[in-house]
Amino acid sequence: MHMPDLLTTEEYKVDLEVFEGPLDLLLYLIKKDEVDIYDIPIGRITTQYMEYLDLMKILNLEIAGDFIVMAATLMVIKSRLLLPDEDRGPVEEDDEDDPRWDLVRQLVEYKKFKDVAGFLGQLEEIQENVFSREGEHVELGARPEIGMTDVSIFDLISALNQALDRAPKEELNEIFAEQFSVSEKVDYLLETTKNGNPLTLGRLFRGMRSRQEIVCTFLAVLELMKLNRLAARQDNHFGEIVIEQIEGSGPEPVLEENEPS
């Protein structure tokens, strides 16, 4: 996938640290493909990983280092797997010799902590209803929390990917036909979802003909989620994603957008 200069550089950057990392992406791909974590088809997963990375680049997400390092790791493993058997010993007999093993161990370990994080999340939800004399409740303040119930950033990117795939290939002469901006789409989203009107991402992207419009809209969704104005949920894994406005979530968001002069 190649779409340079879709967005003006530096126009919009979403900080991914508040979302998720490369291990999350790998786990997501493994789960999505229902492959055995102990026997990862490295070639396929690497290809998919790179596709997501490309999409994230298009979105101008602040991904950088960590994701690139993992891409390199995947490449190394892939190339080592290509070596003839006698150069690296029998794979089935001795797991330690499998070039994938370090990564698998890291993923399995990380998955366990993710599960515990889920457990803590449930406890936190319960504790929201528990009060004692003052001093016990941690003030989370107005820090931008991500209002994602079940949806991961990768589910969202997945939805974007589908929308982009459906969008017609752009003709050269159409490029300057229409210009969209993220802030315009922010207004549009807030207007469309007001009064508790839920909206599926599928419906949101339907009818959008330009890739630039789709990407701008997507970034607007991310931004509003970051500002805790919108929440995204998904009723089953890899199902349709629904976005909703969070009630009483404050005044107009402050957007820092550098208009290209």
Partner 1 sequence: MSNIEVLPELKQIIGSLLFAAKKPLTSKELRKVLADAGSSYGGPYEQFAGIKEDEIIAALGELTSELAHGSSGLCIAEVAHGYRLQNEINCGPWVRTLLDKDKNARLSKPALETLAIIAYRQPILRSEIESVRGVAVDQVLRNLVEMQLVKVVARSDLPGRPWLFGTTQRFLEHFGLRSLDEMPGMEELKRMEKPERTKTFPAMEKELEESLNNQAPNDEGDSNDEISEPE
**Region binding partner 1 by CB under 8 A among candidate stretches 35-43, 139-147, 204-212, 252-260:** 139-147
Q: Minimum distance from CB of 117 to partner 1 (Å)? A: 4
Which one among 2, 132, 236, 259 touches partner 1, defined by CB under 8 A? 132
Residue 72 found at the interface with partner 1 (CB under 8 A): no
Which one among 4, 84, 135, 196 touches partner 1, defined by CB under 8 A? 135
Residue 129 found at the interface with partner 1 (CB under 8 A): yes
Tokens representing 51? Answer: 């596709």
Closest to 184 (Cα-Cα) out of 3, 12, 9: 12
Residue 102 found at the interface with partner 1 (CB under 8 A): no
Q: Which residue has the tokens 């941690």?
A: 138
Which one among 10, 85, 117, 168 touches partner 1, defined by CB under 8 A? 117
Which one among 7, 12, 14, 23 touches partner 1, defined by CB under 8 A? 23
Residue 172 found at the interface with partner 1 (CB under 8 A): no
Residue 66 found at the interface with partner 1 (CB under 8 A): yes
Residues ≥6 apart with Cβ < 8 Å to 96: none
4 or 135: whose CB is closer to partner 1?
135
Residue 76 found at the interface with partner 1 (CB under 8 A): no
Closest to 244 (Cα-Cα) out of 226, 220, 225, 219: 225
**Contact in structure between 208 and 167 (CB atoms under 8 Å):** yes
Helices (H), the chain: 22-32, 42-58, 64-82, 101-127, 153-166, 182-192, 201-205, 211-226
Residue 134 found at the interface with partner 1 (CB under 8 A): yes
134 or 259: whose CB is closer to partner 1?
134
Give the CA distances from residue 145 to residues 41, 185, 217, 259, in Å, rounded to whole numbers and listed in that order.
Answer: 35, 21, 20, 26
74 or 163: whose CB is closer to partner 1?
74
Residue 109 found at the interface with partner 1 (CB under 8 A): yes
For 172, how many CA atoms within 13 A lie in the half-sphere containing its CB? 0
- The site for partner 1, by CB under 8 A, has a size of 50
132 or 261: whose CB is closer to partner 1?
132
Render 121-159 in DSSP notation, one character per residue: HHHHHHHTT---STT-S---TT-----BSS--HHHHHHH
For 239, how many CA atoms within 13 A lie in the half-sphere containing its CB? 9
Binding footprint of partner 1 on the chain (CB under 8 A):
17-23, 65-66, 70, 106, 109-110, 112-121, 123-141, 143, 145-148, 228, 246, 249
